Amino acid sequence: MTPLLTLPTPFSRRISASMEDVAALNDAFATWAGQVALPRRTAFHVELILEELLTNIAMHGTRPAAHGPHAAVTIDLCVAFTAAGDALSITLRDDAPPFDMTRRAPVDTRAPLAARAHGGLGVHFVTQLTETMHYRHADGCNHLVVHKAIIPDV
């Protein structure tokens, strides 16, 4: 793929960890992907990755609140082209309880369903669609950086 001479403006959003905000964010990302002429296959993969990661935070990342059932969790997201223009860097930062998805044991997709541990298929799915994932917990927040190669449409 030929590197881009001028890199498009990154896609950046701050949302609450709610399913409504996740849906709205995916719609906004699809619009951005069209504006920057991201290949359709890559855009679809990134939409799936975002859906999985953000849904996990919305469903499992809430914390008990002092007043009310759950404290609000904030998610900061940035999707940017790498310097070479041949990949995307997806950065998620959230203030949910610590969770390092990069340390989960691989899912044995060949094992019978009854023998498999509950959960983990979403993490497996994200690892299959991305090149690298890096996690750290700092300043009370989870930081996850995922790299996705840009796949040209054929």
Q: Where are the domains positioned within the chain?
A: 11-149
pLDDT of 88-123, one tens digit each? 999 999 998 898 988 877 766 676 767 666 666 778
Q: How confident is the model at residue 64 (pLDDT cuts 50, 70, 90)?
A: low
DSSP one-letter string for 53-112? HHHHHHHH--B--SSSS-B--EEEEEEEE-TTSSEEEEEEEE-SSP--GGGSPPP-TTS-
Task: Give the number of other Cβ atoms within 10 Å of residue 1's Cβ.
Answer: 12
Q: Say whether domain 11-149 belongs to CATH 3.30.565.10.
A: yes
pLDDT of 9-44, one tens digit each? 899 999 988 888 999 999 999 999 999 999 999 999
| Phi, psi of 101, rounded to the nearest 5 degrees | -70, -15
Contact 88, 81 (CB under 8 A): yes
CA distance 73 to 58: 8
Q: What is the pLDDT of residue 125?
A: 84
